[in-house]
Amino acid sequence: MHWQTNLPLIAILRGITPSEITLHIEALLEAGFDTIEIPLNSPDWENSIPAMVKTYGDSALIGAGTVLTPKQVEQLALMGCKLIVTPNTHPAVIRRAVGYGMTVCAGCATATEAFAALDAGAQSLKIFPSVAFGPAYIKALKAVLPADIPVFAVGGVTPENLPVWLTAGCLGAGLGSDLYRAGQPVSRTREKAAAFVKAYREAMQ
């Protein structure tokens, strides 16, 4: 399948608050990002996610991360959320999200988990925590996965090592604390976003 955004880098805004999220997302969109993940262990996500879906849903894939239960999926569906990212392989969560027409990027670590996620309907996979496994592990895992399934490296990805994950067979990456840390100024988000976009585009030349 084709990943449905132009830039396969997922901006993970863990810990962001409703009062600051708009400026950070604007900085990310200006840099070229079009996939935003707001983890459910962020403050007041019940307000952040629907507000961002309403404001930016036409220009970016706005989603939720650290989604753990089918009930959370139902809440998110009512908010218009289009992307569900999980830290683990939970078939009931995946099936519920797919049933609502959402894009699911399911967290997994092993071949068993990866195939369980795909059997449940996940359209993409994130290998988490990637830094603990390394690119050689992902390359080996990719050898047994369907070739058309997008795989994302998440955990420990930096602008400097992004090309290594792409070479290992990842379509892209989820970017957490190396892109955004709770409380950082918008100028920092803008700077880090530009570095990641530059690294990605140079790696793909």
Three-state SS for 127?
Answer: strand
Strand 35-39 versus strand 61-65 pairing type: parallel
Out of 82, 126, 142, 192, the active site residue is 126
- With 0-12 / 13-18 / 19 or more C-beta atoms within 10 angstroms meaning exposed / middle / buried, residue 201 is exposed
With tokens 């790696």, the residue in question is: 203
- In this structure, is the dihedral angle defined by the CA atoms of residues 139, 89, 133 and 160, taken in order, positive or negative? positive
Tell me if residue 192 is catalytic.
no
Any idea how long the chain is? 205
CA distances from 24 to 43, 162, 191, 198 (A): 15, 22, 11, 18
| Spatial distance between the Cα atoms of 147 and 133, rounded to a whole number of angstroms | 20
Amino acid at 17: T
Of 114, 105, 54, give the one whose Cα is nearest residue 84. Answer: 105
Out of 37, 82, 142, 192, the active site residue is 37
| Spatial distance between the Cα atoms of 83 and 1, rounded to a whole number of angstroms | 15
Tokens of 76: 């998110």
- Residues with a known catalytic role: 37, 126
